[in-house]
Amino acid sequence: MPKLELLPAVDVRDGQAVRLVHGESGTETSYGSPLEAALTWQRAGAEWLHLVDLDAAFGTGDNRALIAEVAGAMDIKVELSGGIRDDASLEAALATGCRRVNLGTAALETPEWVAKVIAEHGDKIAVGLDVRGTTLRGRGWTRDGGDLYETLARLDSEGCARYVVTDIAKDGTLQGPNLELLKNVCAATDKPVVASGGVSSLDDLRAIASLVPEGVEGAIVGKALYAKAFTLEEALAAVSA
């Protein structure tokens, strides 16, 4: 059975690595240099980095130069997220050498553009499905953007390669992942799913890993690593066992 991929997260706000609660602006706890955080995860054995420009997601500016510096310093695969909504931001994101980008708001607000870039870039494009209940949220998770399953069906029909699924109610809370949501999304699509939000323990990671046969490919881990609930080395060992 393929092992669960782990993607330690570095979310950047105003030049700092931060964690948010429920993805809400203003709930930041700062953890210092994004480059140092990313290098720490790389040294610990990560194969992927999940790198988010929160300012670009919220529309409060961007950290484009810093994000490019961090992505460029990595020897591992990078998934870039946050505020990628048009040709210019997509071009800048892909120019960092990242392995793939996550589109969120654009999938809700400019579906024709998303269909076009999926056709052009294939599996370099993932779509982030950020939900409260089964309602999608865009613009840094601040605005409703339609029904999860209708949007998923549309994106599937357009050939979207992969989904990053976040239960906003769990994100940054250390309350455990929403396994029901992950199972339901896996049942609705044949495409791989990356789980995001709420991981608090090695048991949570083992529970997500048990969904690999159903279609879960990876798990993003943020707060738990910064809060030192476990080390990345322990997490990697837990999901490869």
Site residues for ligand LARABZUK, window 194-213 (CB under 6 A)?
A: 196-199
Q: In terms of Cα–Cα distance, which of 6, 3, 2 is closest to 177?
A: 6
Residue 1 or 88: which CB sits closer to ligand LARABZUK? 88
Interface with ligand LARABZUK (CB under 6 A), residue from 34, 145, 172, 218: 172
Active-site annotation, residues: 11, 130
How many angstroms from the chain centroid is the CA of residue 198? 12
How many angstroms from the chain centroid is the CA of residue 154? 20
Per CB under 6 A, the segment of 26-34, 49-57, 67-75, 151-159 that binds ligand LARABZUK is 49-57
State the angle between helix axes of 34-43 and 64-73 in degrees (0 to 180), rounded to the nearest 10: 20
Q: In terms of Cα–Cα distance, which of 44, 37, 49 is closest to 6?
A: 49
Count the Cβ atoms, other than its own, within 10 Å of residue 213. 10
Exposed, middle or buried: residue 32 (CB in 10 Å: 0-12, 13-18, 19+)? Answer: exposed
Number of residues that bind ligand LARABZUK (CB under 6 A): 27
Interface with ligand LARABZUK (CB under 6 A), residue from 49, 74, 98, 220: 220
Contact 168, 23 (CB under 8 A): yes
- Asked whether position 89 contacts ligand LARABZUK by CB under 6 A, the answer is no
The SS3 assignment for 158 reads: coil
Interface with ligand LARABZUK (CB under 6 A), residue from 48, 141, 163, 230: 141
Per CB under 6 A, the segment of 93-101, 150-158, 216-224, 230-238 that binds ligand LARABZUK is 216-224
For binding to ligand LARABZUK (CB under 6 A), which residues are involved? 9, 11, 19-20, 23, 50, 52, 54, 57, 81-82, 104, 128, 140-141, 166, 171-172, 196-199, 220-224
